Amino acid sequence: MIESSQLRGAERAGIADRRSFRITESARLHRIAAASSFVFLISLAGVCHADTQAGGTLPPAPDKLYGDLFVAVQTAQIYPDQKTFVDATPNADPATIVQLYAQQKNNPGFSLANFINQYFTPPGEPVITPPANQTLREHINWLWPALTRTTTSAPPNSSLIPLPKPYVVPGGRFREGYYWDTYFTMLGLQESGNENLVDDMLDNFAYEIDTFGHIPNGNRTYYLDRSQPPFFSHMVELAAKVEGHGVYQKYLPALRKEYAYWMQGENTTQPGSATRNVVVMPDRTVLNRYWDELDTPRDESYLEDIQTAQQATGRNPNEVYRELRATAESGWDFSSRWFGDNMTLATVRTTSIIPVDLNSLMFHLEITIAKGCGETRDFRCVGEFAQRAAKRALGINRYLWNANGYYGDYDWKLAKARDNKTAAMVFPLFVGAAWPDRALKTAQQVQSTLLQPGGLVTTTYDTTQQWDAPNGWAPLHWVAIQGLKRYGQDALAKQIGTRFLTDVKGVYASDRKLVEKYVVEGAGTGGGGGGEYPLQDGFGWTNGVTLQLLDLYSPGQ
């Protein structure tokens, strides 16, 4: 087991005295050898491979599978929600369906809606009817089985990607597992004593990394071209707190492979340019951005993306599509933090922005890999990733510190900080990469600009997008609370947690449900709005964070 003080040293790199993290090879090996002990090897051999669909491989995404038929269905809005069709199951071979469509579409009286109803089965909408008079805690614990799915196989030519073990879905239109949602869901599962399900979902993600090279946005074929905020290392850390440090060794190969995915091109990218998710700054500091392999409209939001590109006057539509896809990878789809003018979706420029949350998560991934390498006594690896984490911390504090007194995003193409105060400012505190004086200034900004009667508002802009004012989100509240507590700001953390918990309790009291997002501004409470789809209930990450907040601020309830 690697001595924790060494990794804390990496976490504090550039913090206390703003000194670079330096450790000689001999001193480093001495510290590790003194504290390390042998642990038995735990491999991923127990992770069985999910059955692939008919033919042994996954089918193409729906836009490729159905071509002109896909475009016709989504353009005609056969279903109110664009996600419905791409989640539907074909009742015949896709090639046959496409051929029949070509033969029939010009016939007099042809009805596209009738054709789709004949050849596709839309996804079912599970009805969740909880028992009466449940407390909030009882309701959440009752929901876990209702939100759990086991899909070791999928119907032929479905967009669903099978997974080897059970997993929890967010709820509503989100019928599959989602990457960053899962960490916050795990918080609640662990609190509820469902450690086996935590392990199952970790194994699923390790399987996806092994199979696809990364964790997709969600387990659908149309999500394979991008990932989401990399919380896998936090999931490993969460499990290790209960199950011991052997968890770091078990998932080390997956952690390293995920890191390689995010860092593709770091050694060949010239200073001042970017490759995929990597940006190399003029001083050769390596940071990360959100990105997507494709530059076409998203399958699940096809018509919305077409319309956004049409509104982006003077911009190449394919450029806009890639920006929209990159924003989907961020999880903040959509938000003023990605807009050139802070207000209009058509000005989206996500690939030009170095996000403070992503780079904080990459710092944690580097620290976690170092811990895993310590478990295997791979001292060279420990040194490499401790150094990488130290350099990342320095990069965060150089480029992602806004002179106005908070951590924020940086526009690398314009070579200037983004002028947009968002709840992402707490991520360097969450992972321990913030300098103490800057953590204090950030806490002051949180209190003065983001704290509202119902909790933490996501940004200060009201754009009608869901990741902007007046909405607040459970995962951002948890990150803020943990980050502030880490730097001794317990009172502010409690204010944020109790206000948001009151908001959640208020909606549950009136509507008997937990929802995806909440309105936190104003005197009242309620479910949030904005974005591409109606408010969803269920809801995985709200459930997980709420259980933790009940333990912290409403014990006994």
Q: Binding site: what residues are annotated?
A: 173, 180-181, 217, 226-228, 331, 532
Angle made by CA atoms 419, 425, 429, in degrees to the nearest 5: 150
Burial (0-12, 13-18, 19+ Cβ within 10 Å), 89: middle
Catalytic one of 300, 305, 409, 516: 516
- Coil, helix or strand at residue 199: helix
| Amino acid (1-letter code) at residue 280 | V
Distances (CA, A) of 470 to 316, 377, 473, 521: 32, 49, 10, 5
Residue 333 is a catalytic residue? yes
Angle made by CA atoms 60, 64, 69, in degrees to the nearest 5: 130
- Dig out the tokens for 348 from the structure: 């989206």
What single-letter DSSP state applies at residue 449? I
Residue corresponding to tokens 């929890």: 168
Residue 350: phi and psi, rounded to 5, are -60, -40
- Dig out the tokens for 130 from the structure: 């909880």
Catalytic one of 199, 333, 409, 537: 333
DSSP 129-169: -PPTT--HHHHHHHHHHHHEE--SS--TT-SBPP-SS-EE-
Instruction: Name residue 279's beta-bridge partners.
Output: 274, 287
Q: Which residues are known binding-site members for substrate?
A: 173, 180-181, 217, 226-228, 331, 532
* Sign of the four-CA dihedral 459, 462, 463, 464: positive
* CA–centroid distance for 37 within its chain: 34
Q: Report the greatest alpha carbon distance in the chain.
A: 82
Bridge-based pairing state of the strands 410-411 and 89-90: unpaired
Residue 516 is a catalytic residue? yes
Q: Which of 124, 122, 112 has the alpha carbon at shortest distance from 82?
A: 122
Active-site residues: which are they?
333, 516
